[in-house]
Amino acid sequence: MSKQNSEARYPLMEHYYTIQGEGYNTGKAAYFIRLGGCDVGCVWCDVKDSWDASKHPKHSVNSLLSMVEDAGAKRVVVTGGEPAMYDLEPITTLFSTKGKELFIETSGAYPISGAWDWICVSPKKFKAPLTSELKKANELKVIVFNQSDFDWALEHAKSVGPDCKLFLQPEYSVQHRVLPGIIDFVKLNPDWQISLQTHKVMQIP
């Protein structure tokens, strides 16, 4: 890693070793690194404290790796906020040399940097995703808040690759209202699957 890359620093909102609670990798142990900074502006966002990057202390790449190593974690999820706002190549370069499996969760609104084992793109209406980033997705995860989100999901599924896994996930605060419609949708569109926030059921981060 170059000297410049080794000195890269990122605003860190929170970090923890937990069980992946949603999407394709549900149930797997993973270390979450949540970066601060986001301009997507989802009205139902449950981590709005992440939006202002200046509120969160910056950590070096080596510092982030030490947290993961101390926990004994094999998998790392970089999320936000909107992590793709930053050049993430220094993270993926260093972490991969240590044998870490690297996942990213992004809205796709910015170009995704770095080399990832799994890319989850969760497009948001508040800042549309880039078609180029949708094509990189291993997983498309669309949050359903109202009826129009089904058409949103179908439209963006046209831009992903043929092997991309397709998920619909109810927004947690309205889960009981929207879940019946999601069930009906998946029955009619069996290429899609349902993602639930199981970490909230388990009462873990």
**Residue 125 reports pLDDT greater than 90:** no
Q: What is the CATH number of the domain that holds 147?
A: 3.20.20.70
User: At 2, is the pLDDT very low, low, confident or very high (cuts 50, 70, 90)?
Assistant: low
**Residue 192 reports pLDDT greater than 70:** yes
Instruction: Share the mean pLDDT of the chain.
Output: 94
Q: Residue 46: what pLDDT?
A: 75
Q: Residue 7: what pLDDT?
A: 76
Provide the domain count of the chain. 1
User: At 6, is the pLDDT very low, low, confident or very high (cuts 50, 70, 90)?
Assistant: low
- Section 134-142 average pLDDT: 98
Q: Residue 5: what pLDDT?
A: 67
- Section 146-172 average pLDDT: 96
Q: Domain residues for 101?
A: 3-202
- Section 139-149 average pLDDT: 96
- Section 43-50 average pLDDT: 79
In percent, the amount of the chain with pLDDT more than 70 equals 97
pLDDT digits (tens, 9 = 90+) for 67-123: 999 999 999 999 999 999 999 999 999 999 999 999 999 999 999 999 999 999 999
User: At 202, is the pLDDT very low, low, confident or very high (cuts 50, 70, 90)?
Assistant: very high
Q: Of 126, 144, 193, 187, whose CA–CA distance to 164 is shortest?
A: 193
**Residue 27 reports pLDDT greater than 80:** yes
What are the residues facing 106 on neighbouring strands? 121
Q: How far apart (Å, rounded) are the C-alpha atoms in residues 145 and 193?
A: 16
pTM: 0.94
HEC string of the chain? Answer: CCHHHHCCEEEEEEEEEEECCCCCCCCCEEEEEEECCCCCCCCCCCCHHHCCHHHCCEEEHHHHHHHHHHHCCCEEEEECCCHHHCCCHHHHHHHHHCCCEEEEEECCCCCCCCCCCEEEECCECCECCCHHHHCCCCEEEEEECCCHHHHHHHHHHCCCCCCCEEEEEECHHHHHHHHHHHHHHHHHCCCEEECCCHHHHHCCC
